Amino acid sequence: MLNNLRVTLANGKSTEVFFPDTVRDLSERLSGYGRRVLWVFDTNSRNLLSQLPEHCVILPSGEKYKLWDSVEKIISAALDARLGRDSIMIGFGGGVICDMTALAASLYMRGCRLVLVPTTLLCMVDASLGGKSAIDFRGVKNLVGTFYPAMDVLISPSCLRTLAEAEYMSGMGEVIKHAFLSPDMDLYDFLVSEHDAILRRDRTVLCEMLRLSLSVKAGYIERDPEEKKGIRQALNLGHTFAHALETVDNFGTKHGMAVAWGLSRAAWCGVRTGVTDPSLAEKVDSLLRLYGYDIDRRIERGRWIDYSSAVSKDKKNISGTVRFVLLEDFGRPVLRELDSQIVREAVLTSAGVQG
């Protein structure tokens, strides 16, 4: 079993990450939170428990339900269950469920306790850690949200055995992103050497991959808990491109798939602007291709206006200017403005490195 990971956040708050060995160990840990608890599932994650708890709300599955209406249902269920401020909301599911549960917990009685149980790889390495909560609003991804860290995050690799292949590979997109944000090449080398075992979901290998990936994210979060210093924005590597793609595709592209594509686009723009060495960009594309990502996808020219509009609404828009995360080297991300023409070339042409 992995050692627990404690992540220190703002205002003296921290998140303890636990790694239960089996589903049984996970269940025993969860039973320790008592009965003054509201569980939040979606129609997929509810199937992971043989018996549903007394107080729970089951929401439809999918990004299109990441809306105010779903948060209201969580809060209404908490009120009906007569939860107090000292009660606990448990988000049990993927990133959408964990994000919405965290937002609801931050609002209910000005903040009740929160526990997250990520059941997808994407959520394990991304949404569950760091305190961000959000919903989509008027077609803009994660526009409305708060910083509200969970007191505990319970990660059990055994949950990944039955995860659909597309969902698993969506999570791998974020893991690969972390490999290039790491100041060393440990995660990158691991992803190359253990490729076959990772794809067949070998439990021991997955445990080590999770440890390496979460350690990278924790390093950025602890230095900039509420994204006020510009350090934590590095975790958005590839995301400005990705979120715009998701928007114009009406969220038909899974987040991690879009991030993988966006990572390639960021590498291309880095080469184009002289920030990124072509050899590093080649490593980015080679690793993405090794894992089977479609990084040659193009935005139809007729969708450019919609795509550009989506980019302009990105959360990293400051005073009307969007700054993209580019890479100088492993673990050396930088924020840069990009000329609209460069972005246009990046998303309307094939993904191969162009010197």
User: For residue range 238-274, what is the model confidence (pLDDT) as tens digits?
Assistant: 999 999 999 999 889 999 999 999 999 999 999 999 9
Higher pLDDT, 160 or 21: 160
SS3 state of residue 277: coil
Paired residues of 146 in beta bridges: 133
- Is the per-residue pLDDT at 159 higher than 60? yes
Q: What confidence tens digit (pLDDT) does each residue in 175-197 have?
A: 999 999 999 999 999 999 999 99
Kind and range of the H or E element at 328?
strand 321-329
Residue 142 pLDDT grade (very low, low, confident, very high; cuts 50, 70, 90): confident
Mean pLDDT, the chain, integer: 92
- pLDDT value at 33 more than 60: yes
Neighbours of 204 (CB within 10 A): 10
Structural domains of the chain, with CATH: 5-161 (3.40.50.1970), 176-348 (1.20.1090.10)
Q: How many whole angstroms separate alpha carbon 3 and alpha carbon 66?
A: 33
* pLDDT tens-digit map of 39-50: 999 999 999 888
pLDDT of residue 2: 53
Q: What is the pTM (predicted TM-score) of this model?
A: 0.89
Sign of the C-alpha dihedral, residues 221, 249, 136, 47? negative
Residues with Cβ within 8 Å of 204's Cβ and at least 6 positions away in sequence, in order, are: none
pLDDT of residue 1: 46
Q: Is the pLDDT of residue 119 over 80?
A: yes
pLDDT of residue 318: 61
